[in-house]
Amino acid sequence: MLLAAVAGVAVTVGLGWWQWDRAAQKLALQAALDARSGMPVVGASDIERLRPGDTSLQYRRVRLEGHWLANRTIFLDNRPLHSRTGFIVVTPLQWAGGTVLVQRGWAPRDFEDRTRLPEVPTPRSAVVVEGQIAPPPSRLFEFDAAASGPIRQNIDPESFSREIGAVLAPISIRQTGASDDGLLRDWPPPAVDVATHYGYVFQWWSMAALIAGLYVWFQLIRPRLGRDPR
């Protein structure tokens, strides 16, 4: 019983610390985002100098002029926003010196015809894109890792680069600013769910206290109370 109690307390306390660390990571990420958002705007020449794995420009504001590769637009499925199901629309932007994936915004899904794509106006002329350098969309579980077509669960930059025949910059951009294409750009901040992590911390540590309390009561206190005083 002692070993079981110690193991239970150790596991639940450890899980609580893990959630606490997750909250601290997101708060630090939000602080870095706020600090870098005030730095000078990044341009095409800065991106062209980047090498794979270089995160020095992460969360910096960016401004690029180029052309959309409209026929290469991808709709990432199962991406909810404000409790609604929809897509994150990703389109490559190409300029003279390179190509980059742009997370243009969110569009709702048609529940009557799940194969119907939302209409996203994409001009063929030169456009100026303003946004923020950010991590690529999070990966979701998928049964078919080699998915193709406009609707996909995930997008792998390396394989997508081979698919479109263009070398992609080792970053991703989240477009911001006014929307003239009907897409929502209400990107959630990294620390938006910190309270949830703290709630898990309370739950795990409460469970640890409960296990310890039950052991003390049933193994130490109650046996003594039940002894015959004679």
Residue 191: the pLDDT is 65
68, exposed or middle or buried, with CB in 10 Å at 0-12, 13-18, 19+? buried
Is 62 contained in some domain?
yes
Are residues 183 and 88 located together in one domain of the fold?
A: yes
Are residues 63 and 106 located together in one domain of the fold?
A: yes
Is 51 contained in some domain?
yes
Q: Which residues contact 164 (CB under 8 A, 6 or more apart)?
A: 69, 72, 92, 99
How many domains, in total, are found in the chain?
A: 2
Are residues 107 and 120 located together in one domain of the fold?
A: yes
H helical segments located in 69-186:
157-164
Are residues 124 and 147 located together in one domain of the fold?
A: yes
Are residues 123 and 211 located together in one domain of the fold?
A: no
Are residues 156 and 213 located together in one domain of the fold?
A: no
Are residues 123 and 67 located together in one domain of the fold?
A: yes
Residue 190: the pLDDT is 67
Query: Tens of pLDDT along the chain (230 residues)?
Result: 889 999 999 999 999 999 999 999 888 878 877 887 788 999 999 999 988 888 888 889 999 999 999 999 999 998 988 888 899 999 999 999 899 999 999 999 888 887 888 889 899 899 999 999 988 887 776 655 556 789 998 988 888 999 999 999 999 999 998 778 889 998 877 666 788 999 999 999 999 999 999 999 888 888 888 665 55
Residue 146: the pLDDT is 53
Are residues 174 and 217 located together in one domain of the fold?
A: no
DSSP-assigned letter for residue 77: S
Residue 81: the pLDDT is 87
For residue 26, give its domain range: 1-36+201-230
Are residues 222 and 166 located together in one domain of the fold?
A: no
Is 157 contained in some domain?
yes
pTM for the model: 0.73
